[in-house]
Amino acid sequence: MGLYMVERNVSDISPDRFRVHQRALDSACRRLNGLGRRIRYINSSVVPTDGRALDLFGADSAEVIKELHTVAQIPYDRIVEVLDLTPSFLSPTTSRSRLPAKKGIDHAMSDSTPPDLVRWLADGQRFFSLCIEQLERADHLDAKARTLESENEMLREEMARLRHTVDMLQTDRSEMVAAFNDLAGHVTQVVDHILQKSEDGENSK
């Protein structure tokens, strides 16, 4: 696996939105791993003065990193391969472990961590969980809306067919009424003619 640094512009992104992007990248990593890709989201760093984010990934190639950001729908500026030159003689007391971190805030926080920071992170975690739930609900509602739109289109087509059928029936009815009126007029003329001849015969007697 190679190491790749992804540079992103986060100058216009709030901290909450940044965390949502991190969750999206993590979710995309799990999806790609499920498809047989080898990729690991290692960490993220931010340069506040420049508004830049530096995300570190382990992957087989830069193409996998590009695919990851396409799946997560996260824009980036560039992807560069980097070398891990961390010396092996560093002790855990002077170097942060590069092993995958355990889940949960309690494992990441020490006893000396300010209470406000712990509370902020806990609130942030709950907020991000709610965001993910809302996104999943939005996807469900979007799918339902597409289904309803398809059903509405089918109903509109059916209404158009019924309207055409009604127009044809109304045309047929008008033609039948006209034909009946013509027949009635013809019958009236025949009856009048017969009556007239009958009257003429009686007068001649």
Asked whether residue 182 is assigned to any structural domain, the reply reads no
Could you give the number of structural domains in the chain? 1
Asked whether residue 173 is assigned to any structural domain, the reply reads no
Task: State the average pLDDT over residues 172-179.
Answer: 84
Look at residue 55 in the predicted model and tell me its pLDDT. 93
Residue pLDDT, tens place only, 106-132: 444 444 445 555 566 666 666 666 666
Asked whether residue 37 is assigned to any structural domain, the reply reads yes
Look at residue 131 in the predicted model and tell me its pLDDT. 65
Range of the domain at 49: 2-83+100-143
How many other CB atoms are found less than 10 A from the CB of residue 4? 22
What percentage of residues in the chain have a pLDDT greater than 70? 72
* Model confidence at 200: pLDDT above 50: yes
- Say if CB 41 and CB 23 are below 8 A apart: no
Asked whether residue 79 is assigned to any structural domain, the reply reads yes
* Model confidence at 35: pLDDT above 80: yes
* Model confidence at 144: pLDDT above 80: no
Confidence tier at 7 by pLDDT (50, 70, 90): very high
Asked whether residue 11 is assigned to any structural domain, the reply reads yes
CATH value at residue 63:
3.30.70.3090
Alpha-carbon gap, residue 142 to 29, rounded angstroms: 24
Asked whether residue 184 is assigned to any structural domain, the reply reads no
Asked whether residue 46 is assigned to any structural domain, the reply reads yes
| Residue with token string 């396409």 | 70
Q: How many CA atoms lie within 13 A of 138 on its CB side?
A: 6
Asked whether residue 39 is assigned to any structural domain, the reply reads yes
Look at residue 122 in the predicted model and tell me its pLDDT. 62
